Amino acid sequence: MRRFAVAALAAALAAAGCAFLSGTKKISNKKPEPPTFSQYHLDGWEWDRVDRVLVLPVLNESQYTRAGDEVRAAFTSELQRLGRFEVVAAPDDKALLALQIHRGGRFDEAAMLDLARHTSADVIVHIIITHYSPFPRPRIGLVVQAVGPQEAKVVASVDGLWDTTDAAVAERCRRFYRQRPHTRPPFIARNYVVESDDGLAADLALDSPALFQRWVSQEVALALLGRPIPGVISSGTKSQLAATAGAASCVQPVSGAAVPDAAAGKVK
């Protein structure tokens, strides 16, 4: 009888191990999804030459008045986490000038140079929120452009809609916070667990505006720098799989110089 019990226990453990390995393989082999955004990078531009980035106040076109400050804080944090360069904000005496750069859907080259000179910024980033709904399931539309003040050109841009009513997008958001292939068993203590390492974060990601904004900001930061994004098909910098939400709000130079097609919602 004792031998039978031991054999049964061994069989159960073997089955559990197979199920675990099978589940792990299933997760690791999940195919990447097409991007829900377009991205552009100026030919010949290298982020390696950038030491400091200035992030301007966000132009918030949504009905949620706090969205601009929240998204700016999340994006700045994720950009800093990449560890590539220093990220700064416009000083108080230049904040009004920074806001005026967004006026009329154009940027002023002289104003850009003035801001760059006062902040020693190599690149100036401005963000437009074209749509935002924080309620489950959240969605946000963004137009993000990085401008080289010396070049007076858009050197990189990301334009898209992150809508978690799309099951694939929702799963990508959960996966960002899911650090393990399986949620830890309930008998393992959860004391002193950081947010991104907590199994609950994956479940809360679609209910918490802060978690959602952080995930979107991480994808935007990676795309802006031309880095691969987990779970997204690498489509290059001039993808035909482009989401063009907010194209009408894109920023153009006052001088009338042409902005790259991808930044205007068009792909060459």
Q: What is the pLDDT of residue 198?
A: 52
Whether the link from the prior residue into 137 is cis, omega within 30° of 0, is: yes
CB 249, CB 143: distance < 8 Å:
yes
As a whole number of angstroms, the distance between CA 44 and CA 203 comes to 41
Mapping DSSP to helix (H, G, I), strand (E, B) and coil, where does residue 125 land?
strand
Q: What is the pLDDT of residue 105?
A: 59
Mapping DSSP to helix (H, G, I), strand (E, B) and coil, where does residue 51 land?
coil
Rg (CA), the chain: 22
Pairing of strands 106-107, 123-133: unpaired
Mapping DSSP to helix (H, G, I), strand (E, B) and coil, where does residue 88 land?
strand
CB 176, CB 218: distance < 8 Å:
yes
Q: Which amino acid is located at 119 in the chain? A: T
Along the 268 residues of the chain, how does pLDDT read in single tens digits?
555 555 555 555 555 555 444 444 444 456 777 888 999 999 999 999 999 999 988 889 999 999 999 999 999 999 999 998 999 987 765 666 666 665 655 677 777 888 888 889 999 999 999 999 998 889 999 999 999 988 888 999 999 999 999 999 999 998 888 854 445 555 444 544 444 445 566 668 888 999 999 999 999 999 999 999 988 887 554 433 333 333 333 445 544 444 444 444 333 3
As a whole number of angstroms, the distance between CA 128 and CA 13 comes to 54
Q: Which DSSP symbol is given to 33?
A: B
Q: What is the pLDDT of residue 12?
A: 57
As a whole number of angstroms, the distance between CA 107 and CA 63 comes to 24
CB atoms within 10 A of CB 197: 13
Give the pTM: 0.71
Residues 6+ apart with CB under 8 A from 264: 247, 250, 252
Residue 147 in tokens: 């401008």
Q: Which amino acid is located at 145 in the chain? A: Q
CA dihedral over 117, 119, 95, 134, signed as positive or negative: positive
CB 71, CB 57: distance < 8 Å:
no
> In the CATH hierarchy, which top-level class contains the domain 37-264?
alpha beta
Q: What is the pLDDT of residue 264?
A: 41
* DSSP string for 168-230: HHHHHHHHHH--SSSPPPTTS--TT--GGG-HHHHHHTTT-HHHHHHHHHHHHHHHHTT---T
The residue ranges of every structural domain in the chain are 1-30, 37-264
Residue 265 in tokens: 């919602």
Instruction: Tally the C-alpha atoms within 13 A of residue 78's C-alpha that lie toward its C-beta.
Output: 21
CA–centroid distance for 60 within its chain: 17
